[in-house]
Structure 1
């Protein structure tokens, strides 16, 4: 089995990490769909079901792109698919989507609790202040 530099968010169903980990995820976990959260579009030469769902780092009020990315992950999960989502290194954008996914699936009641769970799964998660503010706007009751 190849090295695992990615992490499991929801047991046997949702994984997240960096872009370079896609081949290992496919080999080890057999993900059904990959969500690429990087702002820059990369041509999909992988042969995998990859969906570009960009979140622009440091963009003011990036709420809509974050909301859409979370919805993509949650919808795929609800369809019974095994999911992997990634940004470049698997800490900022992927961490933000991990927090939102946990909230959307009812696995956490507050943003802080969801962030703790995401960091427990992947210690390098780093939700930047502007992304946390976007999550607070998306989930105003948390």
Structure 2
């Protein structure tokens, strides 16, 4: 039995993890598109349908890039695609987009509830305070 280092955020549809998990998730799951959230992502060609949707780690005011990444994932999901998204380690940026995705899809009513769902799916998620502030600005009514 192989150990999977990536996780399902939404069963059989949305997967999350780190950069090193891309080959496993693409081999094991029917993923149509992978969103790479790393600002430091390599520029070389990918054998997968990879979309670079960069979020800068440890930077203030990431509202536009975070919202764009969430929109990518939600649009892919709504188009019936199976989606994988990742940053380098799969904890901060991935967690931020996971929380936003759950809110955007109506799977959670608050940031705290969405974070709980995301951490249940991937326990290593650890969203930094500046990213939580970004989510509060993007979703002011939750």
Q: Which residue number corresponds to residue 92 of structure 2?
A: 92
| Cα offset, 1:59, TM superposition | 1.1
1:2 CA drift (Å): 4.0
Local SS of the residue matching 1:127: coil
Contact 1:35–1:53 under 8 Å retained in 2: yes
Question: Which consecutive residues of structure 1, in runs of 5 or more, have no partner in the other structure?
Answer: none
**Secondary structure, aligned partner of 1:53:** strand
Q: CA deviation at 1:41?
A: 3.0
* TM-score of the superposed pair, with normalisation by structure 2: 0.97
Task: Supply the RMSD in Å over aligned alpha carbons.
Answer: 1.0
- CA-to-aligned-CA distance 1:53-104 (integer Å, 9 cap, x gap): 0000111111000000000000000000000000001000000000000000
> Could you tell me the TM-score, scaled by structure 1's length?
0.97
DSSP-derived class of the 1:54 partner: strand
Residue in 2 aligned with 1:75?
A: 75
1:132: which partner in 2? Answer: 132
Aligned mates of 2:57, 2:29 — CA distance in 1: 28
Question: Which ranges of structure 2 fall in alignment gaps of 5 or more residues?
Answer: none
